[in-house]
Amino acid sequence: MTKKLVYFLCTGNSCRSQMADGFLNELGGDQYEVKSAGLEAHGLNPRAVQVMKEAGVDISGNSSDVIDPELLNRADYVITLCGHADEHCPVISNTNVVKWHWGFEDPAKATGTEEEIMTQFRQVRDSIKQRIAAFVKEGK
C-alpha cells in the first residue's frame, strides 16, 4: 500500500505543525507519510517538545523547515493549522491535492505565568491530537 503524503503547514513550523506531525506519525504512520513546514522556520519550540513528551510522543529530533514546493505539489493532503499559513500558502499546482484548514490558537503567543502558558500548550496539543485521531479513524 502506498502511503498518502500529508503536509502540515503553519507560520513558523515550531509548535502546531510539529505537534500534528508527531501525532500523525504516532497514530497513523503506517498509513501516512508525514511532513511539516512553515512559511518561515522558527525552530522547534521547547515547550511544544515538552508537552508532546508528556503525551508520549518525541518530536525532539524534528527539524523546523520552510515549505518545499515539490512536497507541496506531491502531497495528497495539505493541512494548514493557522490562519496566516492558510491565507499565505503558496499556490498548489496539483489539482488532486486535498487542502484543508484546521485552525488552532498559537500557544507560542500565550501569556501569563509559566503554568498558564503550559496549560495553553497542553490544550492546543490535546485539540490537535483529537483532530488527528479523527482523521486517522476516518481513513482520509
DSSP per-residue letters across 26-74: HHHTTTEEEEEEESS-----HHHHHHHHHTT---TT----B--HHHHHH
82 is catalytic: yes
89 is catalytic: yes
- Annotated catalytic residue within 6, 7, 8, 10: 10
Beta sheet of 4-10, edge-to-edge order: 32-38, 4-10, 77-80, 98-101
15 is catalytic: no
**Class of residue 96 by CB neighbours under 10 A (exposed 0-12, middle 13-18, buried 19+):** exposed
- Annotated catalytic residue within 89, 117, 118, 133: 89
The span from the CA of 82 to the CA of 103, in Å, is: 5
- Annotated catalytic residue within 82, 128, 132, 136: 82
Catalytic center residues: 10, 82, 89
